[in-house]
């Protein structure tokens, strides 16, 4: 943790500023020094939060997002464009946000649900000061992947109780996260509060479709798989994904009905979307299939609900559209309280 982050952090229970409890009486830190361990203490001294392995921790070690911690530490580099060699994450990021790289340069950006850092990498490369937050131990993968960037700040925290100064960030994004929280609306509500006046926010969710949920193999299998121990589920998928992936690709080749048949095979398959090697595609298939079946929560939302939330939050310039997933955008009013 960089010492400069103290200006932004707040106690998630009281909203008070936090003080660094130094490890030694003579410990002195410069603003950009990395603090590997210590404690963050609220003003009244009642609440204490550890800094462990360079990351402030505001949540229990085990929580409902454990599967994501496991997932992103197992596949810590799979979705990084710097690893794949293709701008897959960059294309999704810029398409969803409609921001321009030059707009992010030098600005504070909140990545709510950073995972292993696939989108944080894009914002960092644009020159943003990125505060990457995740509820799970995926923060460790994010920090390991991107700690070479001096403009990266990582915390492990709860999206329902964000331990940060409100009305601070020029940009906030939350991609691939909200539908995996216990209460999607409540998870969204705290994000616009982080925006400075005139700041911009982008979120996405799985789109709610009754027909898709009925026909999708994912939702047919999830009632069982989400209850399995995550390590057991992963071992099962390690053995079953490769043959299912081959069957899915074969089904895809059948004229006219191929794409529909492919959806009946219970495996994620992006073969037609990304210009990766077969080995890379298989790795993505295992990752995405685990991502289908392991989360405790998977709650798609409608366009009407997403638009209503953006309006309720007092945002302007609201847009809701399909851009891969269902994407919502808005701007915080200037001069609003």
Per-position pLDDT tens, the chain of length 337? 998 999 999 999 999 999 999 765 556 666 667 889 999 999 999 999 999 999 999 998 777 777 888 898 899 999 999 999 999 999 999 999 999 999 999 999 999 999 999 999 999 999 999 999 999 999 999 999 999 999 999 999 999 999 999 999 999 999 999 999 999 999 999 999 999 999 999 999 999 987 776 667 888 899 999 999 999 999 999 999 999 999 999 998 898 888 878 888 999 998 888 889 999 999 999 999 999 999 999 999 999 999 999 999 999 999 999 998 999 999 999 864 4
Q: Residue 172 pairs with which residues in a beta bridge? A: 110, 201
Q: Residue 110 pairs with which residues in a beta bridge? A: 131, 172
Tell me if the pTM is above 0.85.
yes
- Cβ(79)–Cβ(88) under 8 Å? yes
Q: What is the pLDDT of residue 26?
A: 52
Q: What is the Rg, in whole angstroms, of the alpha carbon atoms belonging to the chain? A: 20
Q: What is the pLDDT of residue 173?
A: 98
Q: What is the pLDDT of residue 22?
A: 74
Local structure of 331: helix, strand or coil: strand
Cα torsion 248, 253, 259, 263 to 10°: value is -10
In terms of DSSP bridges, do strands 48-52 and 55-56 run parallel, antiparallel, or are they unpaired? antiparallel
Q: What is the pLDDT of residue 27?
A: 60
Rounded to 10°, the helix 278-293/230-252 angle is: 130
179-205 burial code (b ≥16 CB/10 A, e <16): bbbeebeebbebbbebbbeebbbbbbb
Domains and CATH numbers, the chain: 3-56 (no CATH), 66-208+301-332 (3.40.50.150), 223-293 (no CATH)
Q: What is the pLDDT of residue 336?
A: 44
Q: What is the pLDDT of residue 258?
A: 81
What is the rounded CA–CA span in Å between residue 28 and residue 246? 57
């Amino acid at each position: 943790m960089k010492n400069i982050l103290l200006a932004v952090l707040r106690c998630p229970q009281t909203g008070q500023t936090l003080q660094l409890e130094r490890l030694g009486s003579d410990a002195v830190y410069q603003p950009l020094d990395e603090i590997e361990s210590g404690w963050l203490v609220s003003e009244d001294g009642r609440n204490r939060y550890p800094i462990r392995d360079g990351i402030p921790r505001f949540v229990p070690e085990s929580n409902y997002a454990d599967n994501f911690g496991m997932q992103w530490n197992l596949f810590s580099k799979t979705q990084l464009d710097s690893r794949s060699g293709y701008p897959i994450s960059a294309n999704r990021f810029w398409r969803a946000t409609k921001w321009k790289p030059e707009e992010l340069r030098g600005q504070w950006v909140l990545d709510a649900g950073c995972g292993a850092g696939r989108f944080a990498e894009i914002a960092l490369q644009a020159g943003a000061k990125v505060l990457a937050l995740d509820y799970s131990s995926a923060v460790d993968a994010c920090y390991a992947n991107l700690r070479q960037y001096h403009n990266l700040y990582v915390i492990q925290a709860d999206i329902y109780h964000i331990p940060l100064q409100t009305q601070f960030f020029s940009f906030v994004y939350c991609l691939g996260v909200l539908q995996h929280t216990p209460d999607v609306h409540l998870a969204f509500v705290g994000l616009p509060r982080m925006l400075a006046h005139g700041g911009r926010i982008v979120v996405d969710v799985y789109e709610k479709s009754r027909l898709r949920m009925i026909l999708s193999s994912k939702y047919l299998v999830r009632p069982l798989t989400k209850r399995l121990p995550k390590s057991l589920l992963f071992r099962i998928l390690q053995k079953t994904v490769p043959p299912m992936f081959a069957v899915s690709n074969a089904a895809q080749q059948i004229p006219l009905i191929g794409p529909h048949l492919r959806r009946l095979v219970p495996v994620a398959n992006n073969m037609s979307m990304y210009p990766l090697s077969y080995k890379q595609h298989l790795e993505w298939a295992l990752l995405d299939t685990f991502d289908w079946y392991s989360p405790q929560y998977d709650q798609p939302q409608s366009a009407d609900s997403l638009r209503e939330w953006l309006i309720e939050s007092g945002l302007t310039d609201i847009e809701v559209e399909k851009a891969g997933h269902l994407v919502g955008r808005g701007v915080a009013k200037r001069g609003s309280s």
